[in-house]
Amino acid sequence: MSFKTPIGRVRGLGSAKEGTHHWWAQRVTAVALVPLTLWFVYAMTSLAGADHATAMAWLGDPRNAILTILLVIATFHHVQLGVQVVIEDYVHAEGMKIVVLMAVKLACVALVVAAIFSILKVAL
């Protein structure tokens, strides 16, 4: 027997009104990160100890610039989703939890913007 209203059951969004959005976004970014991280490790091993000019030439290649932008977006989106769960598990004081959650999410946005700006500055 369910206590949910028929409209609540149809919407399927649960008490947080988000449904499976968090879970799904974590999976979509995870799947994207499988090829992206493998490519990234391969690229970094070939760039070990590179000087500035070599690294600039590498990131100046549109393919590397695009893949690095995708990597940074997928990584930090995945990071803020994952760290959110860790914070919700261990930080129990409501005020502190909100402060730490906001700090992590804002920091992730700032890091992504700084990274993309830098990539475009090098590549364009």
Partner 1 sequence: MSDSKAQDRPLSPHLQVYRWEWTMLYSILHRMTGVGLAVGTTVLVWWLVAMAIGPGAFDLVQSFLGSIIGRLMLFGWTWALFYHLANGIRHLFWDAGMGFELETGRLTGHTVLASSVVLTVLAWVCGYAALG
Q: What is the contact surface with partner 1 in residues (CB under 8 A)?
A: 27, 30-31, 33-34, 37-38, 41-42, 44-53, 55-56, 59, 68, 72, 75-76, 79, 82-83, 86, 111, 114-115, 117-119, 121-122
Q: Which tokens sit at 78? A: 């995945």
Comparing CB distances to partner 1, the nearer of 10 and 48 is: 48
Q: What is the dihedral of CA 76, 82, 85, 91, to 10 degrees?
A: -60
Q: How far is the CB of 122 from partner 1 (least distance, A)?
A: 5
| Helix residue spans in 47-93 (DSSP H) | 52-60, 62-90
Q: How far is the CB of 90 from partner 1 (least distance, A)?
A: 10
Comparing CB distances to partner 1, the nearer of 46 and 99 is: 46
The CA distance from 98 to 92, in Å, is 10
The CA distance from 75 to 68, in Å, is 10
Comparing CB distances to partner 1, the nearer of 6 and 74 is: 74
Q: How far is the CB of 22 from partner 1 (least distance, A)?
A: 14
Q: Which tokens sit at 37? A: 């991280």
